Amino acid sequence: MIVGERLRMVREEKELSQGDIEKRSGLLRCYISRVENGHTVPAVETLEKLARALEVPLYELMYEGEGPPKPLATNTQAAERGKLWGSSGKDARYLRKLQQCLARMSEDDRDLLLHTVERMSRPKRQEKPQ
């Protein structure tokens, strides 16, 4: 859901007008309208002001669930479960060997390699028939 739609929904649930939010947050009513209509994407600091004005936790402006969203698994947690590529077995040995090779390369050679990989990973453009 777009933040503006969620902002409007929470504001209307609390039976507040944009003018009420203007008084509580110090933000202009026209700015609040622009956010609600999707014309402006507010900064995090502005979202914090809006959340305080609505007397809701910040996550509520970005999440529709009943409680705060569950945190995503960190790389170490995923590695412990063996689901992270290169965390165990043959993939880990390959990754370690790749790290060693990259460590021995000069900075210019690494830049050239990264540039080449970037170019190769881009989708091919369709040429226009003449």
pLDDT digits (tens, 9 = 90+) for 51-75: 999 999 888 888 777 777 677 666 6
Q: Is the pLDDT of residue 87 over 70?
A: yes
Q: Between these two residues, 51 and 1, which has the higher pLDDT value?
A: 51
CA nearest to 114, candidates 105, 123, 124: 105
Highest mean pLDDT among 4-8, 26-30, 81-85: 26-30
Which amino acid type is present at position 78? A
Q: Which residue has the higher pLDDT, 130 or 14?
A: 14
- pLDDT tens digits along 21-41: 999 999 999 999 999 998 988
Helix orientation angle between 18-25 and 29-36, rounded to the nearest 10 degrees: 120
Can you give the pLDDT at residue 77?
62
pLDDT value for 80: 61
123 or 109: which leads in pLDDT? 109
- Delineate the domains of the chain, giving CATH numbers in brackets: 3-61 (1.10.260.40), 82-121 (no CATH)
